[in-house]
Structure 1
C-alpha cells in the first residue's frame, strides 16, 4: 500500500481534482446533515487560506484547513491561525494520519511568520485528539458570527483550544474571545 503523503496547498492553488477530492471527503462526512460542501463558505463557516492535505496514491484521505486572522482576546489583539475542516477518511483511520496533519499545520503556521497561536473550532468528543497533538483547552466566552450570518455568544465551557506557535501558553491573554467573523 502506498505511503500517505502530506502537502500544503494554498486555497487559490487547489486544482479541480483537489476540489473534487476534498468534496468527496467532506460530503462523505457531512452531506446528509449539511448538504454539499462549498470550498469558499464550507457549511457557513469561514473558508481556509491553506489546506494541509493527506494523499494516498493520489486520493485525498485527510485534510485540515486554516486561515490567518487577527482576533480580540480581552483587551489584546492576537494573530491566530483559525483551524477547521479536520477530516480523516475511514480508509486511513488508526494510521496516525490526523496527528501527522496536525503537526504539518503547526509547522506551516510557524513558517507563516506572525501567527501567535493556532485556534480550532471543535466538538467535545474530539478535544482529546487535539490534546494528544499538543493543543491546550482554555475557558473563555467566545463571540463570533454564526453559520447564518448572525452574531453569536457562547459562554465559557465550550471546547476552545489553542496551540502556541510563536510564544508560550502563558502569553494567551485573559478575557472573552472575539473571533471577529465566522469560526472555521
Structure 2
C-alpha cells in the first residue's frame, strides 16, 4: 500500500498527512473557557450550523459574485464541544518566476460573535499556519482579504503582494479585487511580480 492508498491519510499534491477526523490535536486555555482545536478534512453538519449559519454574507464577499476554491483542511476551535471558530487551508502548486512553489492557502477564517475578544481567532489561524508549514510543506502561505484586515495579518508576519494577482473564474481569468498577502516559510523570499494563480481564489 502506498501513502496515497492509505485511507487514514489525506493527500493533496505531493503532501500527505493524517486524517485526524474528530481527534483533538491541541487544547489551549482561553480567558474563561478552554478552547480545543481539532484539525479535520470535513466539517459536520453541526459544525457548519454553528460556524456559518448565524448570519448572511459573513465575509462580505457576495458583492464580488466569485466562485471560491474548496478547503482541504479545517482547524476548528471548540468551546464546550461547540464549534465557535475556524481557519481553513488548501494546498496549491504555483508556477511563479520560473519556480514551482508550494502555496498554503489560508481561508475561511471566522469566529462566532459571542466568542470574539478571547484570542480564539489567533489560535486557529496559528494552527492553520503551522499545518501549512509543517504538514503541507508549503513555501509560502497566501490569503485573500479586505484592506481593513491587513494590519491584523501584518502583525502576524504576512506581507501584502503589491503586484496584480490574476485568478480563475468560470467565465475566465480576472484580476482579483481583494488584498493578497503572503507569509514566507523556511526563509523563502517572495518575488513581488505579477502572479497568475491558475486557480480559483480561496
Which whole-Å CA distance do the structure 2 matches of 1:154 and 1:110 have between them?
25
Does the 8 A contact of 2:161 with 2:192 survive in 1? no
Deviation at 1:140, TM superposition (A): 1.3
SS in 2 for 1:167: coil
Deviation at 1:71, TM superposition (A): 1.3
Deviation at 1:99, TM superposition (A): 1.1
* Structure 2 gap ranges (5+): 1-31
What residue in structure 2 maps to residue 30 of structure 1? 57
Does the 8 A contact of 2:51 with 2:112 survive in 1? no
Does the 8 A contact of 1:109 with 1:115 survive in 2? yes
The count of corresponding residues between Structure 1 and Structure 2 is 168
TM-score between the two structures when normalised by the length of structure 2: 0.73
1:183 pairs with 2:201: yes
Does the 8 A contact of 1:114 with 1:166 survive in 2? no
Supply the RMSD in Å over aligned alpha carbons.
Answer: 2.5
What residue in structure 1 maps to residue 157 of structure 2? 134
What residue in structure 1 maps to residue 172 of structure 2? 150
**Which of the pair has the greater relative contact order for Cα pairs under 8 Å at 6+ separation?**
1
Over alpha carbons, which structure has the higher Rg? 2
What residue in structure 2 maps to residue 21 of structure 1? 50
Which of 101, 104, 111 is the aligned partner of 2:134? 111
SS in 2 for 1:181: coil
SS in 2 for 1:121: strand
Does the 8 A contact of 1:73 with 1:174 survive in 2? no
Deviation at 1:154, TM superposition (A): 4.2
TM-score between the two structures when normalised by the length of structure 1: 0.79
* Structure 1 gap ranges (5+): 36-42
What residue in structure 2 maps to residue 122 of structure 1? 145
1:97 pairs with 2:120: yes
What residue in structure 2 maps to residue 164 of structure 1? 184
Moved over 4 A (4+): none
